[in-house]
Chains A and B, each alone.
Chain A
Amino acid sequence: MRLEFTPEEEAFRQEVRAFVEAELDPAIKAKVERGLRLEKADYVAWYTKLYEKGWITPGWPEDHGGPGWTPIQKYLFDEETLLGGAPRIIASGINMLGPVLIAFGTPEQKEKYLPAIRRSESWWAQGFSEPGAGSDLASMRTTAVREGNHYIVNGHKIWTSYAHFCDKLFCLVKTDKDAKPQEGISFLLMDLGTPGIEVRPIKLYEGGNDLNEVFLDNVRVPVENLVGEENKGWTYAKYLLGHERTGIAGIGASKQQLLRVKRLLAEQGLAADLHIQRRVTELEIELLALEATGLRILGENQIFSAPGAEASMLKVRGTELRQAIFELLYEVAGPAAIPFSEEAMFLEGEDPLIGDDERASLAANYLDSRKLSIYGGTNEVQRNVTAQMLLRG
């Protein structure tokens, strides 16, 4: 055991930090740090910088363009980029589809899709949830029926993040209606421009529009767009959801928002408020503990009470902590959280009543943060999964 990172790891951290400072557009950084809306162009601008540096796909193997980092390096990269105010990697092609294609795709699929994902030329939406299948994903009903060299897809996907940024969709479909819930599912790739596909944005309560519905009406998908084997899609989906272990706790993002709390407390003259300060202290300690656990998982000879459920526990704790930080930010806003206008969520916009005061976005940020315990498998589902590991046998 060793408290310090190795000199090589520290040097790597400094390299990432220097890169973020030199290359991240200050306007994008301001948007991230102040919880304002980002456009697709903001993400693409940052991802392109990462691509040029060779850092866009830390989770991919080296022979597919990954940088060949150790788990600690990946961890430090996540932390430093988020702490430096860089946008998260929200592109599902990078986080989710890439690893699945690398593991299960045909050589043609890899060649056709992976380079475009790395260059941010194609953006993939994830078509998993349905109106009748949220956390209970296996009860989905979208169907794909084989007709010659095509599948005919019919159904309705929902909560599709950033579909309005995307040109492609990877989708779970039922190819065997008579099979048990998790068995008749296949994994299909589609072009969002295919006739019969309609994307409709969903307006959220804080004004956000990152989520969409995708309607699939007799969509013809070539059979070469099937990933892996027919009816094995559930396996690939599980691989996809379990792939990212270190990033799941959002430690860098929490650190960055906790800095925001401290900055706002100072700006609002609340630095001497012992009640709020004590809550900051408690969150800071919880963050230290989460960070230590994230790093401990990477160590050898570790004892864990629920082996196999580490990612679930990190998701639960990490998201609850981030929510607590956003709740504290909302508290810091005080009565300035009462006025709201959507203009205030843009960098150049301002609220007609309180101007460009940062506090204008804090109520919306708090409302937005409620998604954290819902997406990626609700925290209740994560607890179910962990309890099953603990109580079986």
Chain B
Amino acid sequence: MDFSISDEQQQLRDAVRRFCDGEYPLERRGQRVTADRRSKRWGMMAELGLTGLTVSEACGGSAQGMVEQMGVLEELGRALSPEPYLSTAVISASLIQALGTAKQQDQWLAPIAMGQLRVALALDEPQARYAYQGAGMACHLTREGEGYRLSGEKSLVLDGPDADAFVVAAQHEGILQLLVVPANAAGLTRIAGTTLDAREIATLRFDEVAISADSLLAEGEAAERALQAVRDRASAALCAESVGAMTELVEQTREFLKVRQQFGKPLGRFQALQHRLVDMVIALEQSRSMSAVAAMAVDEAESARRTRLVAAARVTVGKAARLIAKEAIQMHGAMGMTDECQIGHYVKRLMVAERLFGDISYQLETFEKSTAAAA
């Protein structure tokens, strides 16, 4: 096992940090921005090569693994970037890369790498909680001539309002299907909303949407395997993003303890706070380690072991995020609960990250199941 970070990985991270420092000034982080601005920033990220990191070189990307993207995700999390890096560049790109035909890859991946296309994952359904329903999901396809009709509702589609297309999970006669649906398809209604941390999210209603046979990416077992793999990949990405956000929370809290004076001395002179700051740092460092393990597992491990290690990372990061968030608020006092203070925006980002693809309890169960499966 080797945690060494190469110079190339370091340079990529540094480039993203420079972009974030310029694009996301501290006082603006956590605020909603206009659709126009979001679209402009996505173009800038494409110029940096970020939107094509998962995409193959044949389609204009650079075919990097999760290990290479870990530093990118940490920096985006640290700057509270609301851009659809996770949903488009990590999740959708990897699914189409893994499952798509040459024609589908050309059609979808090349524009993703160029920053011309944003694609979101439509997986969750109302009432499903985290137990994703697979072949039992309500969204379904029915045969019509050479193609299909798609009906049903998809919820919690992160970055859905800006998406140009969706990777949709649905079932056809009890068999899981993955397909790509353009956002402007007739019969698709999109209801836009915002997340707890002021990002864009949508519910999608499909009413007899016409689906051509060449929109299908995979079905049955291949689709199930690909979904599990992409959930693990997304989880590893969420770990890295959360490590970035936690790093900033710890950093801001540490600075605050140095400068805030009460009872005639800096808060940092009170041992009750010193020891708790150390526990925050320990939790952060454990998370940083496990986030790296998750990224390596996604790049290298066979499926049961990959799922097990990623779940362990999600538990570690999830618990650390709770601790660090609560302590950061407490140590900032009432100021920590204001909208003006940055702390709350970071806390909310971590809360949303914890719930995407399964909370701590869900991850504990996943760890136990995949441990049994790997044995």
Contacts and interface: CB of A to CB of B under 8 A. Distances in A.
Interface string A290-317: 1011011011111111100000010011
Nearest to A290: B286
A3 B278 contact: no
B364 interface: yes
Given A296-B3, A299-B3, A387 B278 contact: yes
Interface string B239-274: 000000001001100100110000000001001001
Contacts of B315: 282, 285
A288 B293 contact: yes
Interface of A (DSSP majority class): helix
A249 B309 CA distance: 21
Nearest to B271: A384
Contacts of A288: 290, 293, 309, 312, 316
A2 B1 contact: yes
A281 interface: yes
Contacts of B3: 1, 292, 295-296, 298-299, 302
B368 A281 contact: yes
B300 A386 contact: no
B5 A3 contact: no
A281 B363 CA distance: 11
A191 to B, nearest CB: 41
A345 B194 CA distance: 62
A5 B1 contact: yes
A305 B281 CA distance: 7
A259 to B, nearest CB: 14
A301 B11 CA distance: 11
B208 interface: no
A285 B1 contact: no
Contact of B2 (A2, A278, A290, A390): A2
Interface of B (DSSP majority class): helix
A1 B292 contact: yes
B288 A296 contact: yes
Chain A: number of interface residues, binned into ranges:
35 or more
Chain B: number of interface residues, binned into ranges:
35 or more
B222 interface: no
B292 A281 contact: no
Scoring B286, B300, B316 by chain A CB atoms within 10 A of each residue's CB, the highest score goes to B286
B168 interface: no
A383 interface: yes
B248 to A, nearest CB: 11
Interface string A355-386: 00000000000000000000000001001101
A386 B257 contact: no
Interface in A207-266: none
B301 interface: yes
Contact of A313 (B2, B6, B250, B282): B282
A107 B157 CA distance: 72
A95 interface: no
17 contacts: A2-B2, A284-B367, A285-B364, A285-B367, A289-B289, A289-B312, A289-B316, A292-B286, A292-B292, A293-B288, A302-B5, A305-B250, A317-B286, A384-B275, A387-B275, A390-B278, A391-B268
Given A295-B1, A299-B5, A302-B5, 14 more contacts: A1-B292, A282-B315, A289-B286, A289-B289, A300-B5, A301-B5, A301-B6, A301-B10, A305-B284, A384-B271, A387-B268, A387-B275, A387-B278, A391-B277
Instruction: Please name the 4 residue pairs, one residue from A and one from B, whose CB atoms are nearest each other, closest first.
Output: A299-B3, A387-B274, A292-B289, A301-B5
Interface of A: 1-6, 72, 277-278, 281-282, 284-286, 288-290, 292-293, 295-296, 298-306, 313, 316-317, 380, 383-384, 386-387, 390-391, 393
